[in-house]
C-alpha cells in the first residue's frame, strides 16, 4: 500500500510538472508587439515610360534645370516635372532635357532673355 501511495504521488508530481512546462512552452498564445515601430519597406520608384495620350499632342515636354524660371505669367511651357513628376533613367518619347541653344525663344522665353526685341 505504501508503494502504491508513493507511485501515485510520483505520477501526480510528474503530471503537474509536465502541465506546468507545457504551459510555459505554449506558442499559440498571442505575442506582444515590439515596443518600437517597424518601418514599412521602401517601395521601388515607378517612372513613367510613355506619355499619356493627351500629352502627345503637345510635344516636346521639357525637363528644366532646378531653379529655372520662364518669363510671362504662365510659367514654363510643357514642364515635365510639374505635370508628371521626376523623370526616370530612360525618358519617354517626346521628352527631352532643356537645351538653351535649341529651346530659347523657340519654345521657352527664359527670364532675362529678350525673345521679342
Distance CA 65, CA 96 (A): 12
Distance CA 99, CA 105 (A): 11
- Whole-number CA gyration radius for the chain: 36
Tell me which H or E stretch contains 61: strand 61-63
Distance CA 86, CA 105 (A): 25
The number of residues in the chain equals: 117
pLDDT at 48: 87
pTM to 2 decimals?
0.59
Spatial contact of 73 and 81, defined as CB atoms under 8 Å apart:
no
Distance CA 102, CA 11 (A): 95
Please confirm whether the linkage preceding 60 is cis (ω < 30° from 0): yes
Q: What is the pLDDT of residues 43-80, one digit of tens each?
A: 766 888 899 999 999 989 999 999 999 987 788 999 99
Name the pLDDT band for 99 (thresholds 50, 70, 90).
very high
Distance CA 83, CA 76 (A): 11
pLDDT at 60: 93
Per DSSP, 55 falls in state: G
User: Which residue did the predictor score with more confidence, 30 or 26?
Assistant: 30
Query: In this prediction, what percent of the chain has a pLDDT beyond 90?
Result: 40
Query: Which span out of 13-27, 38-52, 85-99 was modeled with the highest average pLDDT?
Result: 85-99
Average pLDDT, the chain: 82
* Spans of all domains in the chain: 53-103
Amino acid at each position: 500500500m505504501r508503494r502504491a501511495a508513493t507511485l501515485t504521488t510520483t505520477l501526480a508530481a510528474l503530471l503537474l510538472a509536465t502541465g506546468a512546462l507545457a504551459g510555459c512552452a505554449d506558442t499559440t498564445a498571442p505575442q506582444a508587439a515590439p515596443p518600437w515601430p517597424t518601418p514599412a519597406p521602401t517601395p521601388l520608384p515607378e517612372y513613367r515610360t510613355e506619355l499619356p495620350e493627351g500629352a502627345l499632342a503637345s510635344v516636346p515636354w521639357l525637363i528644366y534645370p532646378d531653379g529655372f524660371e520662364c518669363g510671362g505669367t504662365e510659367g514654363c511651357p510643357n514642364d515635365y516635372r510639374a505635370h508628371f513628376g521626376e523623370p526616370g533613367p530612360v525618358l519617354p518619347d517626346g521628352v527631352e532635357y532643356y537645351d538653351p541653344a535649341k529651346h530659347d525663344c523657340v519654345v521657352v522665353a527664359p527670364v532675362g532673355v529678350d525673345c521679342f526685341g
